[in-house]
C-alpha cells in the first residue's frame, strides 16, 4: 500500500529528514512508480495536491496478510493484516457480520471522531492481531496511521522532495522515493497529523527520535522509540472532540 500526504496538513516529524538526501522524488513520481510496478493490479485515488492513496489488489484472497481499501463518507482506509478479534469488535460497535477490518477502522474512526468517550490509544489497543492502517479524512484533512505491536506487519515512512510524508509497506518504494529520509514506522504506535506520534501501549510516555545510520555509515531518518523514563506533561483529553480529530501535543 502507498499513502502520500502534503506537508501542510500532515506535519510529519522533522527528524525523518536526512541531510544526506539529495535526490528525493516528488510525490507524483513515487505514485507513478508504484502504479507502474503492478500495472494491471493496482488501484489509486488522488485528492488534488493534498493526498494520494494506492494499493495492490491481493492475488490470493487467502493471503495471511489481507490488503484492503475502503471508503465511506469522505473517510478512506488502507488496511494491511488481520484483526484476530474482529468478531468481538463488530459486536461492540454494533456492526454487521460482513464488516471487514478496513470498514471497522472507518466506523471506529467516525464514531469516536463524532461522539466517542475514549481516546484513540485505547481504541487501537483493543485491536488484536498483526495490522497496519492509514486513515485519511478528506473532509477534515486529517491523517491517522497505526502499526500493531507484534511485528507481524512492516510499515515505513519518509519524506518526499516537496516535504510530503510517504507511508508504505513496500521498502523499495520508500527508498526510491525518499532516498535516505525514511525510517521504519515504530511498532505499537499511532500518528495523527494534528497530535503527532505516540505509543498506544505507553500513551503517558514521550516518544524520542534517535539517529539512524545505514550500512554505509550515512545518516538516515531517525528511529522513534518510547522514552519509558519521561512522561508527558499533561493527561490527554478524553472528550469526543479530542479523540480521532486530534489530541493534546506532548
Question: By the 8 A CB rule, do 72 and 23 touch?
Answer: no
Mean pLDDT value across residues 90-97: 93
Q: Is residue 130 part of a domain?
A: yes
DSSP assignment string, 37-51: HSTTSEEEEEETTTE
Question: By the 8 A CB rule, do 69 and 58 touch?
Answer: no
What is the rounded CA–CA span in Å between residue 194 and residue 162? 19
C-alpha cell at 136: 485519511
Residues 162-184 have pLDDT tens digits of 999 999 999 999 999 999 999 99
What is the rounded CA–CA span in Å between residue 69 and residue 161? 26
- Look-up of cell digits 522515493: 177
How confident is the model at residue 238, as a pLDDT? 38
Q: Is residue 250 part of a domain?
A: no
How confident is the model at residue 235, as a pLDDT? 45
Question: By the 8 A CB rule, do 181 and 18 touch?
Answer: yes
How confident is the model at residue 241, as a pLDDT? 40
What is the rounded CA–CA span in Å between residue 129 and residue 139? 30
Mean pLDDT value across residues 131-137: 97
What is the rounded CA–CA span in Å between residue 129 and residue 132? 10
Identify the sign of the CA torsion 64, 67, 246, 240: negative
The stretches of 117-233 forming alpha helices (DSSP H) are 120-125, 171-178
Locate the DSSP E strands across 24-126.
42-47, 51-56, 66-72, 75-83
Q: Is residue 249 part of a domain?
A: no
Residue 223, pLDDT above cutoff 70: yes
Q: Is residue 26 part of a domain?
A: yes
Mean pLDDT value across residues 60-87: 89
Q: Is residue 114 part of a domain?
A: yes
- Look-up of cell digits 524520542: 208
CATH code of 144's domain = 3.60.20.10
How confident is the model at residue 51, as a pLDDT? 96
How confident is the model at residue 111, as a pLDDT? 82
Query: Above pLDDT 90, what percent of the chain?
Result: 66
What is the rounded CA–CA span in Å between residue 34 and residue 188? 26
Total domain count for the chain?
1
How confident is the model at residue 86, as a pLDDT? 96
How confident is the model at residue 117, as a pLDDT? 65
Residue 201 phi/psi, 5° resolution? -85, -35
Lowest mean pLDDT among 86-100, 109-123, 142-156: 109-123
Dihedral angle, C-alpha 201, 206, 211, 212, nearest 10 °:
10
Domain containing 84 equals 2-242
Q: Is residue 63 part of a domain?
A: yes
Q: Is residue 172 part of a domain?
A: yes
Mean pLDDT value across residues 121-142: 93
Q: Which residues contact 111 (CB under 8 A, 6 or more apart)?
A: 93
Measured in whole angstroms, the distance separating CA 113 from the mean position of its chain's CA atoms is 17
Residue 242, pLDDT above cutoff 80: no
Q: Select from 61, 62, 27 the least CA-distant residue to 44.
A: 27
Residues 17-71 have pLDDT tens digits of 998 888 999 999 999 999 998 888 899 999 988 999 999 987 766 666 789 999 9
Q: Is residue 207 part of a domain?
A: yes
Residue 135, pLDDT above cutoff 60: yes
Residue 143, pLDDT above cutoff 70: yes
What is the rounded CA–CA span in Å between residue 67 and residue 56? 8
Residues 153-162 have pLDDT tens digits of 999 999 999 9
Mean pLDDT value across residues 114-125: 80
Amino acid at each position: 500500500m502507498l499513502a502520500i500526504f502534503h506537508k501542510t496538513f500532515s506535519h510529519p516529524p522533522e527528524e525523518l529528514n536526512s541531510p544526506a538526501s539529495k535526490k528525493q522524488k516528488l510525490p507524483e513520481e513515487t505514485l507513478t512508480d508504484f502504479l507502474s510496478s503492478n500495472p494491471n493490479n493496482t488501484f489509486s485515488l488522488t485528492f488534488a495536491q493534498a493526498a494520494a492513496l494506492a494499493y495492490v489488489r491481493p492475488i490470493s484472497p487467502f493471503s495471511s496478510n489481507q490488503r484492503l481499501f475502503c471508503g465511506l463518507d469522505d473517510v478512506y482506509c488502507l488496511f494491511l493484516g488481520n484483526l484476530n478479534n474482529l468478531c468481538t469488535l463488530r459486536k461492540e460497535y454494533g456492526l454487521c457480520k460482513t464488516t471487514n477490518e478496513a470498514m471497522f477502522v472507518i466506523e471506529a474512526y467516525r464514531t469516536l471522531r463524532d461522539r466517542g468517550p475514549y481516546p484513540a490509544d485505547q481504541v487501537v489497543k483493543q485491536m488484536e492481531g498483526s495490522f497496519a492502517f492509514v486513515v485519511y479524512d478528506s473532509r477534515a484533512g486529517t491523517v491517522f496511521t497505526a502499526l500493531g505491536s507484534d511485528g507481524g506487519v512492516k510499515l515505513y515512512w519518509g519524506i518526499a522532495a516537496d516535504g510530503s510524508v510517504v507511508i508504505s509497506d513496500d521498502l523499495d518504494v520508500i527508498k526510491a522515493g525518499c532516498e535516505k529520509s525514511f525510517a521504519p514506522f515504530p511498532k505499537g504506535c499511532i500518528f495523527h497529523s494534528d497530535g503527532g506520534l505516540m505509543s498506544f501501549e505507553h500513551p503517558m510516555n514521550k516518544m524520542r527520535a534517535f539517529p539512524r545510520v545505514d550500512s554505509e555509515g550515512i545518516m538516515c531518518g531517525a528511529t522513534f522509540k518510547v522514552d519509558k523514563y519521561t512522561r508527558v506533561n499533561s493527561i490527554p483529553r478524553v472528550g469526543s472532540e479530542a479523540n480521532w480529530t486530534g489530541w493534546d501535543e506532548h
